[in-house]
Chain A
């Protein structure tokens, strides 16, 4: 008989007023007892809506059944049949709009805590095992992957498993893409990302860092000079958008990309032990309402800012960030200034002193389906600040499209693909993840990497 508690077993977390001063993980994870208790809430229903709700179709009821029985290793094997990054997905997937949204238990009470269970299974496995080196029969066919973020890692792992010689080219000095430079340590510990990267290497994938495809080498050269039979582009959405308002180049104005990269990848929070600095000051405003904005605001708080604001031009219901991130940010003392639109950055002697905003109201829904913000005339006011972080979105980096003839892209820079196969307009070239969709989620990028790997395999088999 299933455990009929309407609520999820709560996950232990660091206290908000403690964690907003350190970079350790917010959620501490289930114990074995808690995991088993939660796992017994799964009804093992026949319809399995959760599996269809998962972009990589993890056999969720099966792994949960093993957790309930205490067979944690078996649960891990079941998950990793479909998902190469369970420790990552258990932490950063928006389960509430995917598997958990459609969970039958969610109709009367809370869904089964699928994400927390996935995380528990992955963490338990990692604590007890080293990455395995499986026996793989090599095909002697080379495939190149551009970018080592979630899309690239997944595509590379799938193809390596099938016997292809896969090389990943990464522009930065460390692999992991947005998992390394973007998502903060307190949400996704970098040691975990490293473990996942190690297990991809164990499959025989070679990762070459410090190579910028589009600069160090072009896609055409990968085919012609390096002998790759196919190329997967998973280069992400790394180009930051700015507000294009007066004062945006003052000292103290950062893109969220720069602010987070300094802190996450370059470990500026350990300055001067790490020589890369970051300027925070006492009062910080982060402009934007997505997950990146929440990450930047919570990072600023941890870096010592006394007051941190989220400035967003729409309202609470329109915030694109996950509800959990907004909740965590509020608990940690982030102040939300909703329905406010920045119009000018004020400065003195070249440094930021404040952000001038206008109050907004919401009108009719716009093209995005969200209610359009309308400025209230004469409502301008200035928030006194030391630092402004602009987190209003990223688009794909132009280097690849500028240097790859025959690769068709959208006007905003996204690579155009056939969604069934992730094949681009150029022969042998596939693409997936944020470079196709614009900034989206880790799991959607992984799903695209997987789809592309399957299509690449089919195409190369037919050759």
Chain B
């Protein structure tokens, strides 16, 4: 059993949870993820590691309450336990000593972005970040990014906070104003990553993305997380989760992500009933 140490509401749909998981905390690095099962009858879901504390053996996860399992997770409190919490999974992010890097975090994608930007900052790389969301409350972790980046830019679809527009608008205007980036790290909803990559490609900036497809074991066993990268089939769990955004077939991935839509709706209705 893995004890919940702390829990915090980040907005109406997003929560942060600190879990005691020494085997994960001892080795995990930025970019890696865990798989958890809430209870004995539960499904396995992958979640990216947002922070870790090796000394205390804890790992922080940030998740959006969207489906059956995240709803069960949201019902738990500090002192309660999760039945399974396994990791670290995936390859750590390859962090290069660039001069300037731009992070783009869409919604809850800001969570896996944070440890990568923090690690770059600690290596002495200058970083900026664009945080995007539907409206003000979907922009998270702004205060966490502040000390590790030079600029935090915020965009919201409805203009309720920061600049009205989407992250790619801000990206284009920054580059137009003369800021030079060696690399972009874009993490968020698939559709955001797809368009961020398209824009970055036009601007000629290499872009890494982090993928979180449907998977069961997370160790290369099921192959459910296959993704086409540069025309080759890769397993996001062991070959990723980070990939060169230019090479990812996002359309295929979005389709695969919808494989169990009917079942998800079905089980969520039962859960609510």
Residues of A within 8 A of B (CB): 171-173, 181, 209-212, 215-217, 238-240, 242, 244, 248-249, 251-252, 254-255, 257-258, 261-262, 266, 271-277, 279, 350, 397-399
Number of residues on chain B facing chain A (CB within 8 A): 42
Closest 6 pairs between A and B when the two form their complex, measured CB to CB: A258-B222, A277-B263, A210-B86, A350-B255, A255-B223, A173-B84
What residues of chain A lie closer than 8 Å to B264, measured between beta carbons? 277
A173–B86 CB distance below 8 A: yes
A212-B89, A215-B87 given; 11 more Cβ-contact pairs under 8 Å: A171-B219, A172-B217, A173-B44, A215-B219, A216-B86, A249-B226, A249-B227, A251-B258, A258-B223, A275-B68, A350-B252
Tally inter-chain residue pairs, CB-CB below 8 A: 120
B260–A279 CB distance below 8 A: yes
B223–A216 CB distance below 8 A: no
Q: Contacts A210-B86, A275-B43, A279-B259 given: A261-B223 contact, CB under 8 Å?
A: no
Is B165 among interface residues, defined by CB-CB distance under 8 A?
no
B86–A212 CB distance below 8 A: yes
Instruction: Give chain A nearest CB distance to B189 CB in angstroms.
Output: 18
Map CB proximity to A onto B89-129 as digits: 1 under 8 Å, 0 otherwise: 10000000000000000000000000000000000000000
What residues of chain A lie closer than 8 Å to B88, measured between beta carbons? 215-216
B222–A240 CB distance below 8 A: yes
Subset of 9 A-B contacts with CB under 8 Å: A171-B217, A172-B217, A217-B23, A242-B233, A262-B216, A271-B267, A350-B252, A350-B256, A350-B258
What residues of chain A lie closer than 8 Å to B255, measured between beta carbons? 251, 350
CA distance A254 to B224 in the complex (A): 7
Enumerate B250-273 residues with CB–CB distance to A below 8 Å: 252, 255-256, 258-260, 263-264, 266-267, 270
Of chain A, the residue at the smallest CB distance from B257 is: A251
What residues of chain A lie closer than 8 Å to B233, measured between beta carbons? 242, 244, 248-249
Map CB proximity to A onto B216-243 as digits: 1 under 8 Å, 0 otherwise: 1101111110111000010000100000
- Chain A facing B: main interface SS: loop
A239–B221 CB distance below 8 A: yes
A258–B27 CB distance below 8 A: no
What residues of chain A lie closer than 8 Å to B24, measured between beta carbons? 216
CA distance A399 to B87 in the complex (A): 13
Q: Contacts A240-B222, A279-B260, A350-B255 given: A171-B267 contact, CB under 8 Å?
A: no
Residues of B within 8 A of A (CB): 23-24, 26-27, 37, 41-44, 68-69, 83-89, 216-217, 219-224, 226-228, 233, 238, 252, 255-256, 258-260, 263-264, 266-267, 270
What residues of chain B lie closer than 8 Å to A273, measured between beta carbons? 41
What residues of chain A lie closer than 8 Å to B266, measured between beta carbons? 272
Q: Which of A172, A217, A255, A275 contacts B267 (CB 8 A)?
A: A275
A266–B220 CB distance below 8 A: no
Of chain A, the residue at the smallest CB distance from B88 is: A215
A249–B256 CB distance below 8 A: yes
Instruction: Give chain A nearest CB distance to B159 CB in angstroms.
Output: 34
Q: Contacts A248-B233, A272-B267 given: A215-B27 contact, CB under 8 Å?
A: yes
Q: Which of A242, A254, A255, A276 contacts B43 (CB 8 A)?
A: A276
A258–B42 CB distance below 8 A: no
CA distance A302 to B267 in the complex (A): 21
What residues of chain B lie closer than 8 Å to A211, measured between beta carbons? 23, 86
CA distance A171 to B218 in the complex (A): 10
Instruction: Give chain A nearest CB distance to B216 CB in angstroms.
Output: 6
B259–A210 CB distance below 8 A: no
What residues of chain B lie closer than 8 Å to A277, measured between beta carbons? 260, 263-264, 267
A209–B216 CB distance below 8 A: no
Q: Which of A172, A210, A239, A262 contacts B220 (CB 8 A)?
A: A239
What residues of chain A lie closer than 8 Å to B226, measured between beta carbons? 242, 249
A255–B222 CB distance below 8 A: yes
What residues of chain B lie closer than 8 Å to A244, measured between beta carbons? 233
B217–A261 CB distance below 8 A: yes
CA distance A173 to B34 in the complex (A): 13
CA distance A276 to B42 in the complex (A): 8
CA distance A239 to B255 in the complex (A): 24
B68–A210 CB distance below 8 A: no
Q: Which of B223, B259, B263 contacts A240 (CB 8 A)?
A: B223
Of chain B, the residue at the smallest CB distance from A390 is: B223
CA distance A59 to B238 in the complex (A): 44
CA distance A248 to B216 in the complex (A): 18
Q: Contacts A212-B89, A248-B233 given: A397-B260 contact, CB under 8 Å?
A: no
CA distance A255 to B222 in the complex (A): 7
CA distance A171 to B35 in the complex (A): 11
CA distance A266 to B89 in the complex (A): 20
B223–A257 CB distance below 8 A: yes
Instruction: Give chain B nearest CB distance to A446 CB in angstroms.
Output: 21
What residues of chain A lie closer than 8 Å to B258, measured between beta carbons? 251, 350
A274–B27 CB distance below 8 A: no
CA distance A272 to B262 in the complex (A): 12
Of chain B, the residue at the smallest CB distance from A170 is: B86
What residues of chain B lie closer than 8 Å to A255, measured between beta carbons? 222-224
CA distance A261 to B35 in the complex (A): 15
What residues of chain B lie closer than 8 Å to A217, measured between beta carbons? 23, 26-27
CA distance A238 to B223 in the complex (A): 10
Of chain B, the residue at the smallest CB distance from A239 is: B220
CA distance A173 to B255 in the complex (A): 29
CA distance A249 to B213 in the complex (A): 13
B221–A210 CB distance below 8 A: no
